[in-house]
Amino acid sequence: MKIPKKIRIGGQTIEVSQPNCIDGGKLGECRLGDGYIRIAEQFNSAKQSESSKLNTYWHEVTHCILDTMGRGDLSQDETFVSCFSGFLTECYISMEEDWKKDNDPKTE
Ligand SMILES: [Zn+2]
């Protein structure tokens, strides 16, 4: 899956960028108020794998959705967010595998 450059959550546009690294050595971060998600290209001076970046993407999307829902209590629960976003990642990857079976190989 290609990570999009822009998504909408609850009517708000969220810009998604992939800087080389993020302060504090984080894999990703989001700030709903400022409308952005950042996914680090590198983590611990090694390139973050595509599957790890995808996992980070859905993790940050989950934070944004929960914050939009006014459920900051759940958004601050990293165990909940990681578990929920892990399910989303798996679900999305399995959908993509199914689409690939049916699609022209030229369309990725
Ligand atoms: Zn988190």
Domains of the chain, earliest start first = 6-103 (1.10.10)
For residue 41, the CA-to-ligand 1 centroid distance in Å is 17
Q: What is the pLDDT of residue 105?
A: 62
Question: What is the mean pLDDT of the segment spanning 1-21?
Answer: 94
Rg of the chain (C-alpha set): 14
- Looking at every residue in the chain, the average pLDDT score rounds to 92
pLDDT over threshold 90, residue 41: yes
For residue 59, the CA-to-ligand 1 centroid distance in Å is 6
For residue 101, the CA-to-ligand 1 centroid distance in Å is 33
For residue 77, the CA-to-ligand 1 centroid distance in Å is 8
For residue 91, the CA-to-ligand 1 centroid distance in Å is 19
Question: What is the Cα–Cα distance from 89 to 52, expressed in whole angstroms?
Answer: 10
Q: What is the pLDDT of residue 104?
A: 61
